[in-house]
């Protein structure tokens, strides 16, 4: 298990999402495994671009939310903070409605950086987006 809190479950994330962009666009954390984190997001007026397709930026928000929160759950929050360094995304298929689900898994968990793989699928398990997020781990200011 990679999580700092060994009893981590999806309920731990509800308060973290309050009054954030994630809450605004409907992101909801749905599952925590020993080395993965999942969240869903609706494909609706909040997340679509003018053609009615899932906006690539919304996919990036889901990916960055998952990776950033995953990093925050790996570190000791008394000693460290984490901040995003770089995100990339390949949008391989469109979605027009329903929900998409992002699954975040670690590529690298180091002392100063984390790298996360985030795959976003639609309700038919079709791959929508592949993203990679790099997060810097910084000592908490004294």
* Catalytically active residues, by annotation: 64
Q: How far apart are CA 93 and CA 77, in angstroms?
A: 37
Q: How far apart are CA 139 and CA 78, in angstroms?
A: 9
User: Does residue 59 contact residue 131 with C-beta atoms inside 8 Å?
Assistant: yes
Q: Which of 116, 115, 118, 113 is nearest to 131 (CA)?
A: 118
């Amino acid at each position: 298990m990679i999580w700092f809190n060994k009893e981590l479950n999806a309920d731990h994330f509800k308060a973290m999402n309050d009054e954030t962009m994630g809450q605004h666009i409907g992101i909801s954390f749905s599952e925590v495994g020993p080395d993965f984190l999942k969240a869903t997001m609706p494909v609706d007026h909040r997340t679509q671009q003018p053609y009615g397709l899932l906006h690539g930026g919304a996919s990036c928000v889901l990916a960055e939310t998952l990776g950033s929160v995953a990093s925050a759950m790996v570190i000791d929050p008394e000693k460290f903070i984490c901040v995003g360094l770089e995100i990339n995304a390949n949008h391989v298929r469109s979605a027009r409605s329903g929900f998409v689900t992002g699954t975040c898994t670690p590529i690298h968990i180091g002392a100063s950086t984390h790298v996360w793989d985030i795959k976003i699928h639609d309700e038919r398990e079709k791959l929508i987006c592949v993203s990679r997020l790099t997060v810097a781990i910084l000592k908490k200011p004294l």
